[in-house]
Amino acid sequence: MQKDSSTFGLSREKLSKLWKLGEDKSYNKDDLDEEQKKAELLKEQLAKSLPLDAGMQHLLPKVFTVVCEKFSPFTGCSYKDLLLDQKSEPLILETIKDFHKEQAESAPSELEQEIASIVYYTAIASALVYHDVKITKLSYKNLSQSFNELRVSNWLFSDLKNLFSRAYDQCIKLINE
């Protein structure tokens, strides 16, 4: 009984060329590991909830500590739940945006800055898509550029990519009006 060849009848030269093509591919295990690390850190951040208990009020601007009682029903909800729920109030989304803007500005590492920025843009996208409200001073042009970059990110989960796509489409529509 003859063994089937695993080379499919290719000569050594052709096999060598195929191997070289594979080596030229810009696949880098470190890049994949970095994307996995970012995805995991984002997942952890989105699992956290609003820091509105008495011990955390000092982290928010004073104006928001006044409305903590209004937010108390949401303190058990994760950021992900609040950001992807079309019923979340724009004020809650703005609070999440402002909190993560401060985190992005003060984060000790680039990775943590990037994750906080993504949550920041997610809050803006959520308010825009679900409430047709712009909770930032950024222009629709700048927002569309950011949303476009985020919606094509390989490592973001599909719910976020979908939200960023919808926000991008809405920005483009508003720019063209």
Domain contains 78 = yes
In a domain, 148, yes or no: no
Q: Is 175 part of a structural domain of the chain?
A: no
> Residue 160 falls within a domain, yes or no?
no
Query: For residues 133 and 90, is the Cβ–Cβ distance under 8 A?
Result: yes
Answering whether pTM is above 0.75, one says: no
pLDDT at 8 over 90: no
Q: Which residue's structure tokens are 């906080």?
A: 116
Establish how many alpha carbons lie within 13 A of residue 42's alpha carbon, considering only the half-sphere containing its beta carbon: 21
Bridge partner residues of 78 (DSSP): 49
* Domain assignment present for 147: no
If one counts the domains in the chain, the total is: 1
Q: Which residue has the tokens 């810009």?
A: 26
Helices 110-131 and 90-106: crossing angle in degrees, nearest 10, is: 160
Q: Which ranges of 66-156 would DSSP assign to H, the alpha helix?
A: 68-71, 79-84, 90-106, 110-131, 140-151
Contacts 24+ apart (CB under 8 A), 28-31: none
pLDDT tens digits, residue range 34-61? 888 899 999 999 998 876 544 444 455 5
pLDDT tens-place string over residues 20-34: 555 544 545 455 588
* pLDDT bucket at 14, cuts 50 / 70 / 90: low
Q: Which two tokens stand for residue 111?
A: 């990775």
pLDDT tens digit sequence for 75-133: 567 899 999 999 989 998 998 999 999 999 999 999 999 999 999 999 999 999 999 99
Q: The domain containing residue 40 runs over which residues?
A: 32-136
